[in-house]
């Protein structure tokens, strides 16, 4: 069982930035693909960004050019740098560890509002 914990959510004004972190308790973190999802009230959970074990990345069209996913295998951590935030980015953000099984964190709330 892999435990996953997200950090870094909060309240930010439109145009601002936040960096989310996700730490996974596994000795083979480097072998897992890692994703960030988000779920806004009344909407389905959607994939925001992903990074493979090899470092390849992919992004939802809605965040391309604004969000950057990265990983530090030495720290068992994946990051989501979010810039130029918009009110529609408001959601609970979840980290997902993807291998033969999938493991989820509890989520961290991001609210973009003036």
Q: What are 69-102's pLDDT values in tens digits?
A: 999 999 999 999 999 999 999 999 999 999 889 9
Backbone angles phi, psi at 74, to 5 degrees: -65, -25
* Residues 16-65: tens digit of each pLDDT: 999 999 999 999 999 999 999 999 999 999 999 999 999 999 999 999 99
Distances (CA, A) of 51 to 13, 29, 34, 90, 100: 27, 12, 5, 22, 16
The pLDDT, as a whole number, for residue 84 is 98
Reported confidence tier of residue 113, pLDDT bands at 50, 70, 90: very high
Pick the closest to residue 77 from 4, 18, 17 (CA basis): 4
- pLDDT of 1 higher than 90: no
């Amino acid at each position: 069982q892999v435990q996953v914990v997200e950090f870094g959510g909060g309240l930010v004004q439109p145009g601002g930035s936040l960096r989310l972190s996700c730490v996974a308790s596994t000795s083979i973190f480097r072998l897992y693909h890692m994703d960030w999802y988000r779920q806004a009230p009344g909407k389905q959970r959607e994939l925001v960004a992903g990074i493979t074990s090899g470092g390849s990345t992919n992004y939802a069209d809605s965040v391309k050019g604004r969000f950057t996913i990265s990983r530090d295998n030495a720290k068992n951590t994946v990051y989501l740098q979010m810039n130029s935030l918009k009110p529609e980015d408001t959601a609970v953000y979840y980290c997902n560890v993807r291998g033969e099984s999938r493991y989820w964190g509890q989520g961290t709330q991001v609210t973009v509002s003036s």
